[in-house]
A and B are shown apart, each in its own frame.
Chain A
Amino acid sequence: MDLKLVRRLPAALGSASYVVLVVLCAVVLTVGAVFFLWQRYQFVRLGYQVDRLRTEQSRLREAIEPLEVEVQYLSRLKRIDELARTQLHMHDPDPSQVIVLESDVPAAQSSR
């Protein structure tokens, strides 16, 4: 603080600026403290939220597992073969009915 400047100012103006300065400092400190607490609160709140979501994720993963088993069970080749033959009346083609399509695409890209 420039003391020479303060001394040159009228007394009333000097006391007012002193109060303003103190208030300003208090406001800055308060805002800083509030920001810190807000940040801390957000951290904890998000922590609870993340934990809740992780629990939900875990629950959903467990719910998916039986569905994956079911998908695998329902898509097994034996079942598809039986459905194709009995319900869709499909049958193996005669070799004369087969047309092999050849392209320049490497086999490794088109099938595993």
Chain B
Amino acid sequence: MSRLLSRLDRSVPQRFRGFRPRVGFVVTLLALGGLALAGRAVDLQVVQHDRLAALAQRQSQRTIRLDGRRGPIYDRMGDPLAMSVKADSIYAHPASIADPAVAAFRLARLLGLDADWVEQRLRSNQAFVWIKRHVTPSESAAVQALHLDGIAETQEYTRVYPERTFAAPLLGFTGVDTQGLEGLEYAYDSYLKGAEGYKVVNRDALGRTVLTGNDDFPTGGGSIRLTIQPAVQYIVEQELSRAVQVHDAAVGIAIVMRTNTGEILAMAHAPDFNPNDYLDYDKETYFNRAVTSGYEPGSTFKVFTISAALEEGVVKPDSLFFCENGEWQHYDSVIHDTEPHGWLGLGGVIRVSSNICAAKIGLLLPAAVFHSYLQKFGFGHRVGLFTAADGRRLAGEAEGYLPPVDRWTPVDHAAISFGHGILVSPLQLITGVNAIANGGKLVQPRLVLEVRDPAGHIVEQNRYPVARRVISARTAGIVRDLMKGVVSPEGTGKRAAVPGYVVAGKTGTTEIYDLKARGYSQTKHIASFVGFVPADHPALTILVVVERPKKGRFGGVVAAPVFSNIARRALPLLGVWPSEGVRHARMDVAQQAPDALP
């Protein structure tokens, strides 16, 4: 080192010599300063690290609250049926309001509220009170223009149903805090609801936010996509609404199911309601009766009695039954037919819908055997429409009521044979008939195609349905042929016929049990029709139920025409064309032009 310094010294010009002591002094000072800085750095970075880091974090970071946006509900095509958007909500700090009476008068006039009610809230001892939540943009702007001290707005998510009454009882609605209250909103609340979240951002000395990391904090809810086909749903709602009006009925329910997959393409109710303003409607309109209600199915149930009897071999397709000319005393009850009939074959029994002969057929089966068939067809328990991927049953599905077999009396046994003394939901009934349409295999109905998490990943998907055999394909084929007869010109369901298609179905007319009168009402009925089309290669299974029609009472008169109209309009949408009347042309895809047009 000394050699190096002496060499450097020699190389330094003469006039700079003699500075060495001073350079050494400066170097020493700098070294001491460096040491002091290093010591301070160690003190700040190591000794006081935790305290200073926390202090810096408090000064430079800000926590932002993120509202949990409820996830959307889509139809089959991916169009939103329910979505969440931000809306202003008006609130007040009562202590800051100088003149509550004047403020209340002005707010009430703008927001359409009762002035006394608003004044009462403005005179509250609470620090914070809501005045009106989820107001329209124009209402919010008008309130802001008032410049009232102590009145302010905040933004919240609100649920919007852009298509208003469309599929409303199926979708249900949410409360003011966007919690599911009815329908799918309630059943799938755990999937759809968003969680309130927090995001930490950095800010500078001026309070401005600087670059933060992940901006997509997953506080929103998941989404669900339904099997509902909007065009079919629209047709069904239109036809059902028309029928309810024409027959002056109280309620109408219709379900359209894709036969081979069990997917529900439409589930409609009339009258319906607008879930955006559900408080303006009768609560009776809120319920998804197709899934949640139970009723006595009446004659539509006879197809299950005959299916079980054929499968067990207690009757044959050519068996004959005496229908007692319209009245039959069975133990202490008398069973009636709508019209007197004598001897009828199986086809005749189902075509004219004889209660007496259906009861006789049912009584040929041991009660336990008959009961087990009804269970296999899906009655007396939930069919699992609202079941999560992990097997959890979601709320909202009715079990119906199938009396335990050990409580069956001979009268019960006979009554159940023609659809009395039990309760089934419309969904259970169509699922059972769909099993016959499917060649004896029962397919679990599906309403939800897929569920996605907030990040858009599929968490549950409509798997290809698991089918279980209820009756043999041979028996299903025989029953299908019998059901075709119902829609023949001699059958009770002739008005369900669809030009160009072969229809198989069954009518039902049930008197409603009056709890007060302790007997069946002579004036209140449920008219229904259930069937599938085209009968030999079914594409759609359709159920129509019309409750308490004042004009007309029979299923063949009230419900069957609705079935016909729905099938006629919906089948072409699914590419199922009538066998006659419609011309077919071959299209050359390469040329994008039909080669056989007239």
- Which residues of A line the B interface, CB within 8 A? 3, 6-7, 11, 14-15, 43-44, 46-48, 50-51, 54, 62, 65-66, 68-70, 72-73, 76-78, 81, 92, 95-96, 98-105, 107, 111-112
Contacts and interface: CB of A to CB of B under 8 A. Distances in A.
B499 A95 contact: yes
A43 B210 CA distance: 10
Contacts of A47: 210-211
B166 A78 contact: yes
B23 interface: no
A51 to B, nearest CB: 5
A23 B594 CA distance: 84
A7 B11 contact: yes
A99 B589 contact: no
B584 A51 contact: no
A95 B568 CA distance: 10
A100 B577 contact: yes
A43 B202 CA distance: 14
A65 B137 CA distance: 13
B392 interface: no
A77 B587 contact: no
Residue of B575, B582, B586 most packed against chain A (CB within 10 A):
B582
A68 B83 contact: yes
7 contacts: A11-B11, A51-B210, A77-B230, A78-B166, A78-B238, A99-B584, A100-B582
Interface string B147-163: 00000000000001011
Interface residues of B, number: 48
Contacts of A11: 11, 13
A43 B583 CA distance: 68
Contact of B208 (A43, A51, A73, A112): A51
Contacts of A98: 572, 577, 581-583
Contacts of A112: 76-77
B552 interface: no
Given A11-B13, A66-B85, A76-B166, A48 B581 contact: no
A23 to B, nearest CB: 17
B500 A102 contact: no
A104 B77 contact: no
A100 B583 contact: yes
Interface string B552-575: 000000000000000001001001
A74 B586 CA distance: 36
Contacts of B230: 77
Contacts of A72: 79-80, 162-163
When A and B form their complex, which 9 residue pairs have the shortest distance between CB atoms, in order from nearest? Answer: A47-B211, A95-B581, A72-B162, A77-B234, A65-B85, A101-B587, A103-B587, A47-B210, A98-B582
Contact of B86 (A44, A62, A81, A111): A62
Nearest to B212: A51
A81 B239 CA distance: 14
Nearest to A111: B575
A6 B11 contact: yes
A109 B254 CA distance: 30
A53 to B, nearest CB: 11
A101 B594 contact: yes
Contacts of A77: 166, 230-231, 234
Contacts of A48: 208, 210-211
B7 interface: yes
B209 interface: yes
A73 B500 contact: no
B597 interface: yes
A54 B11 CA distance: 63
A69 to B, nearest CB: 5
Given A7-B10, A100-B582, 8 more contacts: A14-B11, A44-B211, A72-B79, A73-B164, A78-B163, A95-B578, A96-B582, A105-B589
A81 B231 CA distance: 11
A11 B499 CA distance: 116
Contacts of B582: 95-96, 98-100
Contacts of A50: 211
Contact of A102 (B79, B137, B572, B587): B587
Contacts of A14: 11
A52 to B, nearest CB: 9
Contacts of A101: 585-587, 594
A7 B210 contact: no
A50 B597 CA distance: 58
Interface string B478-500: 00000000000000000000011
A73 B578 CA distance: 33
Interface in B311-337: none
A77 B238 CA distance: 11
Contact of B162 (A73, A81, A111): A73
Contacts of B569: 92
B405 to A, nearest CB: 45
Residue of A7, A48, A100 most packed against chain B (CB within 10 A):
A100
B215 interface: yes
A73 B163 contact: yes
A68 B586 contact: no
A82 B342 CA distance: 51
A111 B500 CA distance: 23
B76 A99 contact: no
Nearest to B76: A112
A86 to B, nearest CB: 15
A69 B81 CA distance: 10
Contacts of A105: 589
Interface in B153-191: 160, 162-164, 166
A15 B577 CA distance: 101
B160 to A, nearest CB: 5
A17 to B, nearest CB: 10
Nearest to A95: B581
A27 to B, nearest CB: 21
Contacts of A78: 163, 166, 234, 238
Contact of B7 (A7, A54, A62, A111): A7
A5 to B, nearest CB: 11
